Chain A
Amino acid sequence: MANGTISKPENRLGIVGWFYAGSFSFERYAYILHRITGLGILLYFLLHIFGSSARISGQSSWESLMHFLGKPIFVAGEYLVFIAFCFHAMNGIRLILGELGFSIGKPGRPVYPYRISLNRQRPLLVVFMIIAVIFILLGGYDFFIAGH
């Protein structure tokens, strides 16, 4: 700050940059969803451990907790976790394949118009997202129709 100078602006996009940084393809948003669903599943896991620990306090406290968690809002919440799980699992398999070098192609000469690894793996992304949607629909049937 000496001589009236001010420090260099950091200009990092920060978390905002996860959500919007211009128009990018679906893969960028899959990246962000993967993080959010991962955190969601982790949070559910902690709540699950906490909920299951009611078992220690005996049969009656366990049953009353189960009764409480049977409310529609919790069932809907659990279904949200299931959706997050389906997306995270399917996208995770796609990422493992891509990160090990499958589905992304080989280096070649950059000839205009450029075709990049992202375009090459897109069919795989579509297939895995379709599988995720099928699981989500089947899960919905089980959560809300067959299970009741």
Chain B
Amino acid sequence: MADQKEQETSVFTEEVIKEVIFRVHRFSPDDGKPPRMQDYKVPVKRGMTVLDGLHYIRDNLDSTLSYRFSCRMAICGSCGMFINNLPRLACKTQILELEADTIEVKPLPNYEVIKDLVPDLSDFFEKHRSVMPYLIREEEEEKIDPPTNEFLQTPDELERFLQFAYCTKCGLCLAGCPTVATDKVFLGPMALAQAFRYNSDTRDQGFEKRLELLCVPEGPWRCHFAGSCSEVCPKGVDPALGVQLLKGQIVFTKLGLKKPHKIAPLATEKPEAKRRPGIPEAPPRTVKKE
């Protein structure tokens, strides 16, 4: 009886609430046809996401539909699409929340299209790579991976960049950016926010090196703070904040009004991890160590 009651009040009912039209972008480089939109009828249950809708199409209506996804929980950043005119993650967007009878799904704008809903993110990752998004140390022995020991950083120092470390590289911010809409070479909000993230990390000594890469016409000065990147970012990374802070960081450091950050020292002792009482040993390895 209690079970039945629970089932009735649960939001995860199997009941079909309505039927919507999925208007999906189709394009295949091999069939010789120009890009077009194709309609599919999708029955919607409560809690169903746009990604679930695409799965429904692929499983029941058209197995040739291509799209990217992996985690289906807004963590991997694979399923970015242009859904009802905004860049969104398909797995984080519920169909009912869109309050529309037609769901238009297109590939993320400002990226070339490989097939159907699959954008070509190679430029995006290239821009990321170009700002040296990793810790740069001057000591010879710390340049190798792994470093010889931990770097010591306070919680306050961590807070200065942590927000930007939440970026999942989903690419939505560049799809939303009006500068990227007309400018192919602009580094874009993700790479620039990541440059700020590493410049502000006390374990990093790469500010001067990155400065050479950033003080170019396609660098941060081409951003004019429309803020659209932050509006569409699904992880609250606020890349527009990172880009503006990067500009300030460059100006004030170059004018000598801001001192370079203190450099995190290398821990002198190896941290010794002690097992807390009551925590059992890990089970034996199932795969032999080479």
Contact = CB atoms under 8 A, between A and B. Distances in A.
Interface residues of B, number: 56
A98 to B, nearest CB: 5
A77 B202 CA distance: 54
Contacts of B236: 110-112, 114, 116
Interface in B89-131: 107-114, 119-120
A133 to B, nearest CB: 21
Contacts of A114: 233, 236, 238
A30 B237 CA distance: 22
Nearest to B248: A101
Interface in B240-290: 240-242, 244-245, 247-249, 251-252
A8 B113 contact: yes
B182 A14 contact: yes
A100 B227 contact: no
B113 A9 contact: yes
A107 interface: yes
Nearest to A111: B236
A18 B241 contact: no
A147 interface: no
Q: Is the interface of A mostly helix, strand, loop or mixed?
A: loop
Interface in A105-146: 105, 107-112, 114, 116-118
Interface residues of A, number: 45
A30 B178 CA distance: 12
B112 A8 contact: yes
Interface string A5-36: 11111111111111001111101101110110
A27 B159 contact: no
B164 to A, nearest CB: 7
Interface of B: 27, 29-35, 84-87, 107-114, 119-120, 159-164, 166, 176, 178, 181-182, 184, 224-228, 230-231, 233, 235-238, 240-242, 244-245, 247-249, 251-252
Given A17-B178, A101-B244, 5 more contacts: A8-B114, A11-B108, A24-B226, A107-B160, A110-B237
